Amino acid sequence: MKMNFKKIIEFFSNPKRLFTFLIFFNVVVLAISLLAFQPSIAKAQEGLTPEIGMGLMAAAVAVAGSGIAAGIAVYGAATAGAAAIAERPGIATWVIILAGLGEGIAIYGLIIAIMILGTL
């Protein structure tokens, strides 16, 4: 099955549109992670101590920082990849792989946040 990347490249060739998409995607990931951490937040409200509060802040910083970093990484990979695909269409697979590696940064931050909340 041959995929037509021309429409995808045309859609994301506008940097504002790409950046808006990345921000929206990271907000969705953040919302899902907050719903997943809801039991830990409820537990923290019962007996709130400075250690628990710092743990929750550390988890929030891990998720937010990795989401922003992933957005920057995918933005760079996608804009450079769009230019590269325009010159050599055969490297479209490599561009998708590099963008996926950039999005992996958000997953690493989420894993770190889960590990931090697991110690509370």
Tens-place pLDDT, residues 36-61:
766 666 665 666 677 777 888 889 89
- Of 21-30, 41-50, 102-111, which has the strongest mean pLDDT? 102-111
Count of domains for the chain: 1
Distances (CA, A) of 93 to 5, 74, 78, 116: 10, 15, 12, 35
Report pTM: 0.58
User: Is 3 part of any domain?
Assistant: no
Length of the chain counted residue by residue: 120
- Evaluate whether residue 4 is within a structural domain: no
Residue 12 maps to a domain: no
pLDDT of residue 3: 63
Instruction: Tell whether 112 is covered by a domain.
Output: yes
Q: Does residue 67 lie in a domain region?
A: yes
